[in-house]
Structure 1
Amino acid sequence: MTSRLPKLVAFDLEHNHKIEFYHDVAEILHRLRGSGVIIAACSRTSAPGLARQTLSLLLVPPKAGDKHSKPMKAIEFFDQMEIYPGSKMKHFRQLHKKTGIPYTEMLFFDDEHRNKEVEELGVTFTLIRTALDDRTFEGGLDEWRRRHVVEVVEDAAGDDVKGI
């Protein structure tokens, strides 16, 4: 199986009473950032300022095994933020407009099944049933890869060729 990643991975922001990331989210964010993937936050909320403030206050611990780095503000991981009232369709149209990234190169994790509607645009949707953990994340990547098996590879001469 290929290890190709989408160009943009978006996450819905939960609005629970307890404000924290799921256990595996820190390593997921570090992995995406280290791979050069655009990380987006998409949230349908009537309190966008509060959501941004929350991301500024939440700290993401350093990568596992990195004892010399300090925790970072969560907001620093997000390259794009679509945080306002309105549909996820609008959020993804704005992401596409701002980044130029094709919808087919986007993967979205959300806990609301109704937001699967973004698949009409070509975005791959992954439902978070209980928590965003490694298993759910890898499942989303596997589904995205299954839908997009063709990738550009470089042949021995350095020319781009299509491969599967």
Structure 2
Amino acid sequence: MPRKLSKPNNTLRNSSQPPPTSRRRSSSQGPGLSISGGVPLPAWLDDDSQPLPQLIVLDLDYTLWPFYSDIHIATPIRPVPSSNHATISDRNGETFALYPDVPHILHLLPQAGIKLGVASKSPVGDLCRDVLKHLRLPPAAGPQQPTDGYESASKSSRWASSGKGRKTIEVFEAGLEIYEGTKLRHFEAISRRTGVPFEEMLFFDDERPNFEVERLGVTMHLVSNGLTWTELERGIQKWRAKRGVE
């Protein structure tokens, strides 16, 4: 079923006690220290007394990137050489990129011991995988000051200046579920594949109907302008609150 175009094309151009299974920062790390590469963790992630979800699952359209994959992109696509693969272009010359904070977030979370996965209703799964293969994460990307909107969009080319970086698709260790239908099905597949309990999952999505996944025990956090550091913190706080952790 075609998706109604309910959002503008904001495409970026050239541009209780936590159970023992909860993921935490390594006890060998002192407060404020980095997990790797000299990159400091945000304070709300760098607290050995606070649990973290084992798995964070992300929607794609208007969560990871600011466009509808099945509406806005005219295939074929290719990377933009001058962006060191931080941007792609389509047949019409339109350019597309991840939301500004997303590259740093995708780099940091696996370093913190959190698995990543994708749950998307996009009907163009192959295209989405191609986009994730073409878009590269900046080498040694790490957390910047939290931003909302597009004020840090121009950082993309600066981050990528030292090389092409890692393919975005490679960070999703928990796999990608990209197909139409209820996201209950997506999460059941992810749980079977990973063995991670639903209660250990945190989901970021931009559409309210997908709160249905909370029936499984998943915690969902709604985003309105893509995934940012602020929204990531709010989501983790919500997940902790559901576990009785203040």
Candidates 120, 137, 160, aligned match of 2:232: 137
Query: Equivalent of 2:114, from 37, 40, 47?
Result: 37
Q: Please state whether the residue corresponding to 1:41 is helix, strand or coil.
A: strand
Shift of the 78–130 alpha-carbon distance from structure 1 to 2, 3 Å rule, reads same
Normalising by the residue count of structure 1, what TM-score does the alignment of the two structures yield? 0.83
Match of 1:112 among 185, 199, 207: 207
Distance 1:39 1:74, change over 3 A: same
- Tell me the distance in 2 between the aligned counterparts of 1:64 and 1:106: 23
Residue of structure 2 in register with 1:28 after alignment = 105
The answer for unaligned runs of 5 or more in structure 2 is 1-46, 62-66, 73-94, 144-158
Mapping 1:10-159, distance limit 5 Å: 10-14=57-61, 15-16=67-68, 17=72, 19-62=96-139, 63-64=141-142, 70-79=164-173, 80-149=175-244
- Find the partner of 1:4 among 51, 63, 67: 51
The one-letter code sitting in structure 2 at the alignment partner of 1:105 is E
Q: Which has the higher helix share?
A: 1
Instruction: Report the AA paired with residue 78 of structure 1.
Output: F
Paired letter, 1:140? G
- The residue type paired with residue 51 of structure 1 is C
- Tell me the amino acid that sits aligned with residue 107 of structure 2: H
Q: How many residues align?
A: 151
Q: Distance in 2 between matches of 1:49 and 1:25?
A: 21
Tell me, in whole angstroms, the C-alpha distance in 1 between the residues paired with 2:225 and 2:162: 33
Note the alpha carbon deviations across 1:68-94, whole angstroms, 9 max, x for none: 675111101111111112211100011
- Alpha-carbon shift at residue 19 of structure 1 (Å): 3.1
How far apart are the structure 2 equivalents of 1:8 and 1:97? 13
Q: Which has the higher strand share?
A: 1
Q: Is the 8 A contact 2:136 2:164 kept in 1?
A: no
Unaligned runs of 5+ in 1: 151-163
SS of alignment partner, residue 107 of structure 1: strand
Q: State the Cα RMSD in Å.
A: 2.2
> Hey, what's the Cα distance between the residues in 2 that align with 1:73 and 1:142?
29
Kindly state the Cα deviation for residue 5 of structure 1 after the two structures are TM-superposed: 1.2
Partner of 2:41 in structure 1? none
**Amino acid of the structure 1 residue aligned with 2:97:** E
